[in-house]
Amino acid sequence: MGNTVEKHDTMTVRISKVFAGGPGGQFSRKEPPWHNEKIFAVTGNPVLHSKSPLMFNGIFERQSIPAVYARLAASTAEEAIFLFKQLRLSGMNVTAPFKQDIIQYLDIVEPAAVRIGGVNTVVREKERLKGYNTDYIGVVESLKKNNIPIRDRKCVILGAGGAGRAAAYGLVKEKANVIIVNRTFSTARVVARSFGGKRCRAERIERLEEVLKSSDILVSTLAADIDIVPATWLRKDLVVMDANYKKSFLSEKAQNRGCQVIKGEAWLLNQAVPAFQYFLGATANETVVEIMRKALLSSPPGKPKNIALVGFMGSGKSAAGKILASQMGFSFKDLDELIEAKEGRSIPDIFKTDGEDYFRKIEKTLLKTELESHFGVVYACGGGVVIDKQNREILKQNALVIWLYSTIDTALKRILPGTRPLLDSDDPKKKAQEILNKRMAAYAAAADLIVSSEKTADKVAEKIHEEIRRTFYD
């Protein structure tokens, strides 16, 4: 898909207007129908560590905005866009390593994102996908809100990737004097030249100590475990901004040296505010920003007690779940099989004899009993378990919830005829799509992570295991 640059002035964030989305200045969420909810997500590789859902779901809940925000795992930018379209997402944040690659799949890209060479926010407008970059706003606003002057200040940026380029663009735009230092000098030089003028130049990494002696601001976009700045190079009057919101060598040293440290959460929050505006077409007031900030700083969950796989029938929950359980050293249970064993009859028989309401009551009781009393289990859950709000709460409180998504065509190929009562219809494909559409946002609301199950079960399990390992065990 080709893309074009949208001809408009780059957005400048002003936190002033009161957010209003409906009567009384708020949207109203009805429970149900979930099919009226908008779905947003963040994608990257890995992405399970992302704190973006804390902010967006925090504000959606507090302001009664009819929307949910999830994490979308993908191996490539192409796969991320495939899922974006399949799930009919209204918007998506993009993190490493997809910010550059995602551009080729968009219809329109704002000028700032073109200059930076990366997109971190994608918005659906009718059937067009529009790309923006709000990372540079996050850098500038984080400094300004800490009363740090930018104009004519000497700013060193470590790293010439997507975040580094965004930081350079924002600081040059604010008329700072920027020096880009990167392991590969030629890359730093290319980035510096792309912004032109006398405000931005590159330096070799071997000169970093000398450069820092006369610098005012250090912005690091390096990974948390990269340690290239000795503590003795950090002066007390140096402002250090770290893109990481994990504990990093740099921020720890800077704090110990008495530097003013701006952590990654500030950057994350201040890039999320304009993303919020793009998503909802409404300006965030100070109350909204404060809700997002408090949600961001809340404690994320620890290592998973259990793992629950949810998703539409035929999404491969049992097949992938058994493999994942083996990889994790967990046991495996299929909730539908537990229900059949308890009732002494098949699911189709339960539906035929006692109806869906009866089945849902059994399912709810069993879900609560199982998840609250067991540890170290991978559960394959029934396709409709997320419909009930209390079920979603039970899942979230007692498990890491993974939504396995597959297209209806793929799902129907995996389903044996006559085994799914809800698909008894003259047109099973149409019926299946209708059911899935109604459940989409409920799946998203329950899920900690969305994973495509179009692949083989072993690859699906491997992807989930990789996300869990990199988030909780690395």
Cα→Cα distances 250→96, 183, 241, 313, Å: 20, 16, 9, 47
| 8 A C-beta contact, residue 451 and residue 403 | yes
Query: Which token pair is 21?
Result: 């989305």
CA angle 193, 103, 315 (to 5 degrees): 145
Among all residues, which ones are annotated catalytic?
99
| 8 A C-beta contact, residue 102 and residue 84 | no
DSSP letter, residue 39:
E
Per DSSP, the three-state class of 423 is helix
Which stretches in the chain have pLDDT values below 70?
Answer: 1-36, 416-423
Quote the pTM value: 0.89
pLDDT number for residue 419: 60
Q: Which domains does the chain have, with CATH numbers?
A: 4-129 (3.40.50.10860), 137-262 (3.40.50.720), 307-473 (3.40.50.300)
pLDDT number for residue 297: 87
pLDDT number for residue 32: 38
Nearest CA-CA partner of 444 in 392, 397, 398: 392
**C-alpha torsion angle, residues 414, 420, 424, 427 (rounded to 10):** -20
Sheet with 177-182, strands from edge to edge, namely 200-204, 177-182, 154-158, 217-220, 239-242, 260-262
Burial of 370 (0-12, 13-18, 19+ CB in 10 A): buried
| 8 A C-beta contact, residue 139 and residue 166 | yes
Nearest CA-CA partner of 8 in 113, 162, 104: 113
Which DSSP string corresponds to 141-210?
HHHHHTT---TT-EEEEE--SHHHHHHHHHHHHTT-EEEEEESSHHHHHHHHHHH-SSSEEEEEGGGHHH
Q: Which residue has the tokens 């405000």?
A: 199
pLDDT number for residue 418: 62
Nearest CA-CA partner of 369 in 338, 324, 332, 325: 338
pLDDT number for residue 12: 35
| 8 A C-beta contact, residue 176 and residue 136 | no
Task: Give the pLDDT confidence of 272-323 residue by residue, as tens digits.
Answer: 999 999 999 988 889 999 999 999 988 777 889 999 999 999 899 999 999 9
CA atoms in the 13 A half-sphere facing the CB of 397? 13
pLDDT number for residue 143: 98
